[in-house]
């Protein structure tokens, strides 16, 4: 069975190499129209979402991560944080920061669904994306960036970023374990 939604879900990949061409504002706004329609427990929408496209601010957020990462043994691409030219959000021209309401137990789930909505909508419009979990703590710890610049309240915690931009790579599909998902029935 195929349709455009299924094809879109099956062909999305995390993108870690971006063209520097910025996303048109109307495309970004359409993605955000979809984001806001994400389901959330009791429709609380327990998030604060901030979009960064300003080059200086992107550099400051990345520098914050690099400083925070110094001396830490981090997994994945974050392990290369001290290398020249490193970008925790893979040099994407647009970075979405998602902060979750600390007082709402469902907030991390709701924010995860929001992320998938953003990434699926983005992919359908030809925009690549990647969730950046590794930058959460560094961004949340930097009071100046979190509170003063991003205007994220103290009762919210930054839980991930989402890199967005035109893909400059075509990653192969990563392995999935279908056996983790099972149909259970009394009758065989």
| Residue 123 lies near ligand FMN (rule: CB under 6 A) | no
Provide CB contacts within 8 A for 56, sequence distance 6+. none
Q: Tell me which residue has its CB nearest to ligand FMN.
A: 133
Question: Who's near 100: CB < 8 A, 6+ residues apart?
Answer: 46, 47, 107, 108, 110, 111, 156, 157, 159
Give residues 13-52 in contact with ligand FMN (rule: CB under 6 A).
Answer: 13-14, 16
* Residue 134 sits in the site that holds ligand FMN (CB under 6 A): yes
Residue 110: partners with Cβ closer than 8 Å, 6 or more residues away: 38, 39, 40, 41, 44, 45, 46, 47, 100, 104
Q: Within 99-118, which residues bind ligand FMN (CB under 6 A)? A: none
Tell me which DSSP letter residue 20 carries.
S
Nearest-angstrom CA–CA distance, 90 and 78: 10
Residues in contact with ligand FMN, shown as a per-residue x/- string from 48 to 87 under the rule CB under 6 A: ----------------------------xx----------
CB of 184 to ligand FMN, least distance (A): 26
Rule CB under 6 A: is residue 129 a binding residue for ligand FMN?
no
Is residue 132 a contact residue for ligand FMN (CB under 6 A)?
yes
Q: Contact 81/65 with Cβ under 8 angstroms?
A: yes
Q: Is 160 in the site for ligand FMN (CB under 6 A)?
A: yes
- Residue 152 CB, shortest distance to ligand FMN, in Å, is 18
Among 70, 174, 182, 187, the residue binding ligand FMN under the rule CB under 6 A is: 174
Residues within the interface to ligand FMN (CB under 6 A): 13-14, 16, 76-77, 130-134, 160, 171, 174
């Amino acid at each position: 069975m195929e349709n455009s939604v299924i094809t879109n879900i099956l062909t999305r990949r995390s993108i870690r190499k971006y063209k520097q061409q910025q996303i048109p504002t109307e495309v970004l706004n359409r993605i955000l129209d979809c984001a806001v329609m994400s389901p959330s427990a009791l429709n609380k929408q327990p998030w604060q979402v901030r979009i960064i496209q300003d080059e200086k601010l992107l550099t400051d957020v990345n520098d914050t991560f690099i400083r925070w990462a110094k001396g830490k043994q981090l997994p994945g691409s974050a392990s290369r944080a001290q290398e020249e030219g490193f970008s925790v959000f893979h040099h994407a021209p647009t970075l979405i920061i998602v902060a979750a309401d600390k007082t709402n137990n469902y907030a991390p789930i709701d924010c995860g669904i929001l992320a998938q909505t953003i990434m699926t909508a983005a992919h359908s419009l030809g925009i690549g994306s990647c969730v950046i979990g590794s930058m959460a703590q560094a961004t949340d710890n930097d009071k100046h960036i979190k509170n003063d610049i991003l205007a994220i309240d103290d009762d919210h915690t930054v839980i991930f970023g989402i890199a967005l931009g035109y893909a400059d790579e075509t990653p192969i599909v990563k392995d999935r374990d279908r056996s983790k998902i099972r149909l259970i029935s009394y009758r065989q």
